[in-house]
Amino acid sequence: MRTEQFNQIIENMLEHCTNTLINKAKEYATEDRLHNFKIAATLQGITPIQALAGMMSKHTVSINDMCRGGEYPLGMWDEKIGDSINYLLLLRALVEEKNG
C-alpha cells in the first residue's frame, strides 16, 4: 500500500472516530463525558477503568470474530475499529483524570 492511500485511511478513520465521539456526547447528554463508566463502576463495585475495560471487551470480541473469517462490508469494519479506537481514547481520558 502506498503512503498516500495509507494516510488517507488513517485520516478517514480519525474523522469517523471524532464524529462518533461528538454524536455520542449528544446522546449521553451530561457534563461529565466519563459519567457512564463511573456509574457502571459504582454499580459493579469496581473502578471506572475496570468498567471501561469490561465494556470494551465486547468490541474486542466482535473484532476478533471478524478477523477469524467471513466477509464483512467495509462500513462494518470501520464501525468496529472506530469503536475500539474510541474506547482507547476514553480510557486515556479516565487515566488522565485518575492521575490528575
Question: Could you read off the pLDDT of 82-97 as tens digits, one per residue?
Answer: 999 999 999 999 999 9
Rounded distance between C-alpha atoms, residue 24 and residue 72, angstroms: 24
Give me the percent of the chain exceeding a pLDDT of 90.
86
Q: Which of 11, 5, 7, 33 is nearest to 78 (CA)?
A: 11
Q: Tell me how many domains the chain contains.
A: 1
Query: CA-based angle 17:73:5, to the nearest 5?
Result: 60
pLDDT recorded at residue 69: 92
pLDDT recorded at residue 87: 96
> What's the chain's average pLDDT?
94
pLDDT recorded at residue 99: 95
pLDDT recorded at residue 40: 95
pLDDT recorded at residue 29: 60
Rounded distance between C-alpha atoms, residue 55 and residue 37, angstroms: 9
pLDDT recorded at residue 30: 78
pTM of the entire structure? 0.89
Look up the domain containing 59 and give its range.
3-99
**pLDDT tier at 23, thresholds 50, 70, 90:** confident
